[in-house]
Chains A and B, each alone.
Chain A
Amino acid sequence: MKMIFLIIFILANYLTSATISGYIKDERTGEPLPFSSVFVEGTDINTMANEKAYYIIHLKAGQYTIRFSRGSYTDSFVNITLSERSNQQINAALKAKIGEIRETVVYKKKDDKTQVNISREILSPNELRDQPQMIEPDLFRSLQVIPGVTAVSDFSSGLYVRGGTPDQNLVLLDGIEIYNVSHLFGVFSTFNMDAIQDVEFLKGGFPAEFGSRTSSVLNVLNKEGNKKEFHGDASLSLIASSLSLEGPIPTGSFLVSGRRTYLDFLTALMQDKLPYYFYDLNGKITSQLGRNDKIRVSGYYGDDHLTYEFLTSEMDWRFGNIVGSAAWDHLYNPQVLSTLSLCASKYKSDILVGSDFVIDNGVKDLTGRLDFEYFPRNNLSFKAGSWLKWNSFYFNEKFQETDYVAYEDTSYYTGMYLQNKYQYADKWILETGGRLDYFTSGKYLKPSPRIGAKYFLSPFMAIKGAWGLYYQFLHVVNPTSGRQGYFSMLDYWFPIDESVKPMCAYHYITGLEWKRFIEHDWELEAYFKDMKNVVEFNDRVEDPQELADFFYHGTGYSYGVELSAEKLNIGRLSYKVSTALSWTTKKLNDFNDEKRFYPRHDKRFNFDFTGDYQLGKKWVASAAFKFATGQPYTRSLGYYYQEIPDDEFEMVIPGDMYGGRLPIYHRLDVGFSKAFKWKGIDFKAHIQVLNVYNHKNVMDIFYNFDTNPPTKEEFTMLPFLPSAGIRAEF
């Protein structure tokens, strides 16, 4: 009976209410601005645009003022008069605050009372560019300052999110899954900042629409391109150059962006050899077919190439991704929209040493995806969809025409989800959902319930929580992951089977957000992640009979507390401080005497400061400071020389696995940038200094056996490193 009343109520409400809906765009370029906020002035009604920059608000007939807002853009106001059961389409255009002293910098989450927003960050590359970067702006390095995210070294762009490993992150570029996100042996990520529009990063408790990973989701949205005029960006740094071109086409826009490193040329000029380069290309075409249909086609190609010549032989190593997708957005009516996507992704790594040694490995992915969004009321929305994915994996190792490994496998994965969001009495937001995944390799059918809730204690203070169950059916084997370093270009993806159970993780998250308290926005989150069926590659397997024999199996958990504070209404000064206290442990069968251990990425305490100061309309000074307690490493307790016929090995006797801690890590980076105009072209030049006081942060400890006794030596990370670059917009 209650259900009938509810349906009648919804129908009655539907029949008497009117709606306004539309897309929020950049005034200058016409590009969509996802995650912008929409407010109905004088009421508590507000909403946030989705990742396609679409919004809808249900209102009763009357006159209203609608405010469209996004940080670093000037608010836009629209007055409307709504009659009963009318649908007004209002496409808002926001004007960027170029060359102005800012009021606020980061637009994420502020004043948004429509989302639970747990463990969620939304980032804009334009703002991240002002932070000191490691020579080249890099998205993953920017994410490493978020509390709960750690890196194993200065040289790694891999993300370890709340105790998870990089292969537990779902990385999407315009909805396409990317399997290897590294360039330059992991120093940079595959994403070209010039091509990125927005980044959504979910470090836990993510909703049912995302599946197949247990740790986090990184959803990168590329720019659609300027819809009004031709425009270009060119940038030059010490190691790379990039060029982006964008402009209108009939019914839409295009974007092409490419970059290439020139370390190979520079080192050759200096009479040295580093025969390595990478390049990547991003492209996107968008076409608006009438009011209700939009087609998006995007692609990415990246290639890293290392060659090293010996006298009569050559080592040749190529690795990279090639991906493409086509998506069709359709608006059935203002309340229902759908997206149909077809995606293809391939990662390959080919190593050839002379004619003797060949290692090929790769993963291919074909995905079809259909998603629906339904907004029946302001306080109620649904999202449902399904994924169908085909994967192919291969790994061949050949030495002198003999196959040592010849592995090939395929798998199918289907997933269906339904999630809804419900707001009650301006106090509660409840997000519930569920996902059902089926994986053919091993025939696993796994339901994953998810729930998130937020309760407003006051207009500026809310408590929130999330719980969810997450499954993962693919893993990465990396011969370096269990050791001191991590080189992501050696990642080998493989699917589980009936002998290896799917990894699962339970996320328990709770948090408090307190806005406008002592002129800051505060976020406090505590989490516990319980991981089952964790696998680690066993490179010493003897006589394997099935897939499970190649791994150590066990459990893990991580927990911690994260606190961040972001300064509000700052004028010239903008900064964010964050700190995290966290624990990650694992226990694996037949490994480390089955004792629980802290893995390499367990960092107990982290403190990050990032900020910038506008010295004038043209000058910006920025700084980033990082402090972290030492990472675990395995100590050497003793040593000996192991004699074998013809040779001798210098051996150390290791202590408990990761039983020691490296020294404390800290580093200060500073940068200055200046915007100026020359011959009608906008330029922005920057100089940056990394590790200003040249602190020797230790990455690893080893011993020099040329002395007796062997002397301890430390492999240190980034030294004092100045860099400069310039960017032009035309």
Chain B
Amino acid sequence: MKEYLLVALVVFCFCSCQTTDEQFQQQLVVSSFLKSRHETTDLKLNYAEQIGEKLDETGLGVSGANVLFKHGNEKCRLNEEKPGLYIYRGVQFTANETCYLEIKIDTFFITSRTVIPDTLKLLGTYPDTITIYDNINLSWFPSKYHSGYLVSIKNLEDPDKREAIDEDYEEFTREGRSDVQSYLIDKNVTKFNLTSIEFMWYGKHRISVKAIDRNYFDFMRSAEEQSNIEPICHINGCLGVFGSYSEDSIYLYLKKEEK
């Protein structure tokens, strides 16, 4: 009798912490960022893949979707140039304009909207070459209709050949990190102090400052790679981001030099 009770208790314990029976459901992913005063705009439409399944980058582009941008009284239908890549040429979005997105495919109906930020312009002049002992103060003319700024520092050297500034630091940041360092800046701040801590490698870099809309801003502040909480998307019917921005950038060469 005691043995039966013990077995029943063990079975009860294990049954009581069974996991929920969840299944992956096919979902679409949108990536589209409208750039202020830029004539070409594109939208990528992909399927997400189930964990454990191989992601075929070409095969998961979603073909045959009806993709529409609406702004003002205009409706722009995007052409599918590759599987999952939809492009429209010849449209210019202007500041404070609201652009609506509509995608129809099979049973999916996806909608979103974005307000285009005003132009962003970096102020002053910047050197072409710096060392890690130099500080550069980026500043820009304040934008409008934006939710924040995004400063990105991207290394443009060949990943297999570039030289790390600090081997320990490289070790610290290498796993799972992209080669872009990004900083979200409050919408009322118009300067950024670029110091050595923002760089990981020597060589050529592109430094960009973007005034970004709410969708882009909320995604950046909430997105965490491999997080168990979904980022804030402001998009109905699928995953992804439909955002907009304006941008200015400079190129810098970070030179190795002893002090």
By a beta-carbon cutoff of 8 Å, the part of chain A in contact with chain B is 273, 310-313, 353-356, 399-400, 402, 404, 482-484, 539-540, 542, 581, 583, 604-605, 629-630, 633-657, 659-661, 702-703, 705, 708-710, 712
- Are B48 and A653 in contact (CB-based, < 8 A)? yes
- Are B197 and A310 in contact (CB-based, < 8 A)? yes
- Are A644 and B241 in contact (CB-based, < 8 A)? yes
In the complex, A354→B168 CA distance in Å? 17
In the complex, A660→B228 CA distance in Å? 12
Shortest CB–CB separation between residue B204 and chain A, in angstroms?
14
In the complex, A84→B165 CA distance in Å? 87
User: Is B91 close to A, CB under 8 A?
Assistant: no
Q: B22 is contacted by which of A629, A640, A659 (Cβ under 8 Å)?
A: A659
Nearest-CB residue, chain B, relative to A709: B54
Supplied contacts A581-B13, A647-B182, 5 more A-B pairs, CB within 8 Å: A311-B132, A636-B226, A646-B154, A659-B19, A712-B51
- Are B49 and A709 in contact (CB-based, < 8 A)? yes
Given A646-B208, A654-B230; A605-B13 close (CB under 8 Å): yes
Q: B17 is contacted by which of A630, A642, A645, A702 (Cβ under 8 Å)?
A: A630
User: Is B67 close to A, CB under 8 A?
Assistant: no
Q: Sorted from nearest, which 3 A-B pairs have the closest CB atoms?
A: A634-B228, A604-B17, A640-B48
Q: B13 is contacted by which of A542, A629, A709 (Cβ under 8 Å)?
A: A629
Q: B231 is contacted by which of A482, A638, A651 (Cβ under 8 Å)?
A: A651
Report chain B residues within 8 Å CB of A583: 16
Q: A643 is contacted by which of B16, B44, B210 (Cβ under 8 Å)?
A: B44
In the complex, A399→B206 CA distance in Å? 22
Which of the 9-residue segments B23-31, B93-101, B106-114, B121-129 touches chain A? B23-31
Report chain A residues within 8 Å CB of B197: 310, 312-313, 353-354, 356
In the complex, A97→B196 CA distance in Å? 63
- Are A709 and B239 in contact (CB-based, < 8 A)? no
* Chain B stretch 207-259: residues in CB contact (< 8 A) with chain A: 208, 210, 216, 218-223, 225-232, 239-241, 243, 245, 247
- Are B29 and A637 in contact (CB-based, < 8 A)? no
Nearest-CB residue, chain A, relative to B240: A642
Report chain A residues within 8 Å CB of B92: none
Report chain A residues within 8 Å CB of B195: 312-313, 354-356
In the complex, A75→B30 CA distance in Å? 77
Given A311-B166, A643-B44, A644-B219; A650-B176 close (CB under 8 Å): yes
Nearest-CB residue, chain A, relative to B12: A581
Q: B180 is contacted by which of A637, A646, A702 (Cβ under 8 Å)?
A: A646
Report chain A residues within 8 Å CB of B196: 310-313
Q: A312 is contacted by which of B132, B186, B227, B231 (Cβ under 8 Å)?
A: B132
Report chain A residues within 8 Å CB of B228: 483-484, 633-634, 636, 652, 654, 657
In the complex, A311→B48 CA distance in Å? 41
Shortest CB–CB separation between residue A705 and chain B, in angstroms?
7
- Are A642 and B182 in contact (CB-based, < 8 A)? no
Q: A644 is contacted by which of B33, B165, B189 (Cβ under 8 Å)?
A: B33
Shortest CB–CB separation between residue B158 and chain A, in angstroms?
17
Report chain B residues within 8 Å CB of A399: 183, 185
Q: B186 is contacted by which of A313, A402, A648, A661 (Cβ under 8 Å)?
A: A402
User: Is B178 close to A, CB under 8 A?
Assistant: yes
Q: A637 is contacted by which of B47, B50, B185, B210 (Cβ under 8 Å)?
A: B50
Given A402-B189, A656-B22; A650-B225 close (CB under 8 Å): yes
Report chain A residues within 8 Å CB of B18: 661
Report chain B residues within 8 Å CB of A636: 51, 226, 228
Shortest CB–CB separation between residue A315 and chain B, in angstroms?
9
29 CB contacts below 8 A, A to B, read A310-B196, A310-B197, A311-B132, A312-B195, A312-B197, A353-B197, A356-B195, A402-B189, A404-B186, A540-B218, A604-B16, A629-B14, A637-B22, A640-B239, A642-B31, A642-B240, A646-B206, A647-B152, A647-B182, A650-B225, A651-B223, A651-B226, A655-B20, A657-B228, A708-B55, A709-B49, A710-B51, A712-B51, A712-B52
Shortest CB–CB separation between residue B56 and chain A, in angstroms?
9
- Are A643 and B31 in contact (CB-based, < 8 A)? yes
- Are A400 and B225 in contact (CB-based, < 8 A)? no
- Are B27 and A638 in contact (CB-based, < 8 A)? yes
Shortest CB–CB separation between residue B229 and chain A, in angstroms?
7
User: Is B71 close to A, CB under 8 A?
Assistant: no
- Are A642 and B20 in contact (CB-based, < 8 A)? no
Shortest CB–CB separation between residue B17 and chain A, in angstroms?
4
Report chain A residues within 8 Å CB of B152: 646-647
- Are A652 and B226 in contact (CB-based, < 8 A)? yes
* Chain B stretch 177-203: residues in CB contact (< 8 A) with chain A: 178, 180, 182-183, 185-186, 189, 191-193, 195-197
In the complex, A400→B54 CA distance in Å? 43
- Are A629 and B17 in contact (CB-based, < 8 A)? yes
Given A311-B196, A483-B228, A659-B22; A653-B13 close (CB under 8 Å): no
- Are A638 and B49 in contact (CB-based, < 8 A)? yes
Q: Could you say which of A640, A641, A654 has the most chain B C-beta atoms within 10 Å of its C-beta?
A: A640
In the complex, A635→B48 CA distance in Å? 16
Report chain B residues within 8 Å CB of A404: 186
User: Is B141 close to A, CB under 8 A?
Assistant: no
Report chain B residues within 8 Å CB of A356: 193, 195, 197
Q: Could you say which of B23, B226, B241 has the most chain A C-beta atoms within 10 Å of its C-beta?
A: B226
Report chain A residues within 8 Å CB of B44: 643
Given A356-B197, A656-B20; A649-B225 close (CB under 8 Å): yes
Report chain B residues within 8 Å CB of A705: 176
- Are B232 and A648 in contact (CB-based, < 8 A)? no
Q: A653 is contacted by which of B17, B54, B189, B230 (Cβ under 8 Å)?
A: B230
In the complex, A712→B166 CA distance in Å? 30
Report chain B residues within 8 Å CB of A639: 48-49, 51, 55
- Are A652 and B227 in contact (CB-based, < 8 A)? yes
- Are B154 and A661 in contact (CB-based, < 8 A)? no
In the complex, A212→B241 CA distance in Å? 44
In the complex, A581→B232 CA distance in Å? 37
- Are A654 and B227 in contact (CB-based, < 8 A)? yes
- Are B17 and A703 in contact (CB-based, < 8 A)? no
Report chain A residues within 8 Å CB of B19: 635, 659-661
Shortest CB–CB separation between residue B228 and chain A, in angstroms?
3
User: Is B119 close to A, CB under 8 A?
Assistant: no
Q: A642 is contacted by which of B165, B185, B189, B223 (Cβ under 8 Å)?
A: B223
Q: B55 is contacted by which of A656, A659, A709, A712 (Cβ under 8 Å)?
A: A709
Shortest CB–CB separation between residue B179 and chain A, in angstroms?
9
- Are A483 and B227 in contact (CB-based, < 8 A)? yes
Nearest-CB residue, chain B, relative to A312: B196
Shortest CB–CB separation between residue B30 and chain A, in angstroms?
9
In the complex, A660→B22 CA distance in Å? 9
- Are B210 and A645 in contact (CB-based, < 8 A)? yes
Nearest-CB residue, chain A, relative to B206: A646
User: Is B53 close to A, CB under 8 A?
Assistant: yes
Nearest-CB residue, chain B, relative to A598: B17
Report chain B residues within 8 Å CB of A710: 51
- Are A312 and B13 in contact (CB-based, < 8 A)? no
In the complex, A702→B178 CA distance in Å? 17
- Are B48 and A702 in contact (CB-based, < 8 A)? no
Shortest CB–CB separation between residue B59 and chain A, in angstroms?
12
Given A356-B193, A644-B241, A652-B51; A635-B22 close (CB under 8 Å): yes
